[in-house]
Structure 1
Amino acid sequence: MKKTSGFSPEQQLTSLDARLLLSLQRLSDMLKAMQWEQARMLGITPLQLQILLFTGHHTVEVNKVAYIATELQLSRPTVSDAAAALVSKGFLRMEEDMRDRRSYSFLLTDTGRDVLTQAEQYIAELDTILQKRPLQEKSSLYQSVYTIIAGLYDKDKGGMQRMCYSCAHYEGNKKRQHYCRLFKKKLLSAELQIDCIDHSSLSGPARVISSSDNKGSL
């Protein structure tokens, strides 16, 4: 008997899982197309757009090639070349790490901040749609998406997820009981963080991001 596929219209008629899988794939494709179009309008590549978005909202401590490469699950040379192109365009500047002269961080220039504002606009339509949805519906959707991301995450395959489930401060059953030891409070499932400013890896503490911390360095 031929195995059915989640991409099969016949299976989608009867399987909610198949429809969900296709829906997530379609949403991913649409967001990617929107990102590509926004990058084209700005005269940069989609990867350069991603690097601008990351460096514009994270601190000098993590705005380094190695960390960004891990974040985007790309090789260091690929990220280095893309970031160097942004420097040559005048959108980023390089700042030497005074503690390690072999290391440097990328920071936005004034022109880069203007471009960042435009770069963020590719999700404006999606943001408008979400704002119009009921709070309970958004909470349920977020919990479902969060669970899917947590289920797919594999630290051995690379990537970076600053989410509660991978944080040393998290305590709970990863179902309905959640507690943050850092803030000493219970968390609702809809309050679980996916890019926490106080995330601490299970192998050791490391406060990694804060947009307010970054302002003084730009």
Structure 2
Amino acid sequence: MEKTSGFSPEQQLTSLDARLLLSLQRLSDMLKAMQWEQARILGITPLQLQILLFTGHHTAEVNKVAYIATELQLSRPTVSDAAAALVSKGFLRIEEDMRDRRSYSFLLTDTGHEVLAKAEQYTGELDAILQKRPLQEKSGLYQSLVTIIAGLYDKDKGGMQRMCYSCAHYDGNKKRQHACRLLKKKLLSSELQIDCLHHSSLTTSVNNAAPTENGPLL
């Protein structure tokens, strides 16, 4: 069987898989370009924008260099430098972990919250498009994306996916039967989570994190 290439115009003529691969790549490129442009407007780097988006919507428990580095699949020194720059700009503040004086979390300042509201605007066009699509179409698309993300995820290669399929609370067959033991309810495929703060490995991932290579900021 000939290997499918999403970059081959010839295969795109006859292969739906090739067209899907190219479509996903194009969408990724377009989102990245919009994110970079928004970062430029705000006078920060794309990585700093990503850190603002993460810290602005997650708790102090995970807003640490080690965890964010795992989330973004980057080195701890790289994340530490970017977060330190946001602190110097007045967008983030450092909060000491009272349980471990060597550990720190990053929280948004009042100015940081204002910048966060602007940072999120780069998805506005995409959000408007999604809102116009039928619910059934969006549910099917989401289910397909969850399946793709789950298929690509490899914990041995790093990265963090707080999704139902990798959670101890998940009970189901990963096909049409889904349930959450923690919430004590059955879930529709469209209700499966990919960024859940109740994910079973959340606490252990943070507490077992090793010290950063670039100093005490964890």
Match of 1:18 in 2: 18
- The 1:153–1:129 alpha-carbon spacing in structure 2 relative to 1, beyond 3 Å, is same
Give the whole-Å Cα distance in 1 for the aligned partners of 2:94 and 2:167: 30
Paired residues, number: 206
1:200 is paired with a residue of what secondary structure?
coil
Cα offset, 1:68, TM superposition: 0.3
**Which runs of 5 or more structure 1 residues have no equivalent in the other structure?**
207-218
Give TM-score, length-normalised by structure 1: 0.91
- Please give the root-mean-square deviation of Cα atoms over the aligned residues, in Å: 1.9
Cα offset, 1:204, TM superposition: 6.0
Match of 2:173 in 1: 173
Aligned identity (percent) is: 88
Structure 1 runs of 4+ aligned residues shifted over 2 Å read: 2-6, 201-206
1:62 is paired with a residue of what secondary structure?
coil
Letter in 2 for 1:145: L
CA contact (8 A) 2:4 2:15 kept: no
Higher relative contact order (CA 8 A, sep 6+): 2
CA contact (8 A) 1:143 1:189 kept: yes
Letter in 2 for 1:90: G
1:7 is paired with a residue of what secondary structure?
coil
CA contact (8 A) 1:168 1:205 kept: no
Give the whole-Å Cα distance in 2 for the aligned partners of 1:15 and 1:64: 44
CA contact (8 A) 1:166 1:202 kept: no
CA contact (8 A) 2:169 2:180 kept: yes
Give the whole-Å Cα distance in 2 for the aligned partners of 1:80 and 1:186: 40
Q: Deviations over 1:8-53 (max 9, x none)?
A: 1010000000000000000000000000000000000000000000
Give the whole-Å Cα distance in 2 for the aligned partners of 1:63 and 1:177: 33
CA contact (8 A) 1:92 1:109 kept: yes
Cα offset, 1:5, TM superposition: 3.1
Letter in 2 for 1:166: S
**Which runs of 5 or more structure 2 residues have no equivalent in the other structure?**
207-218
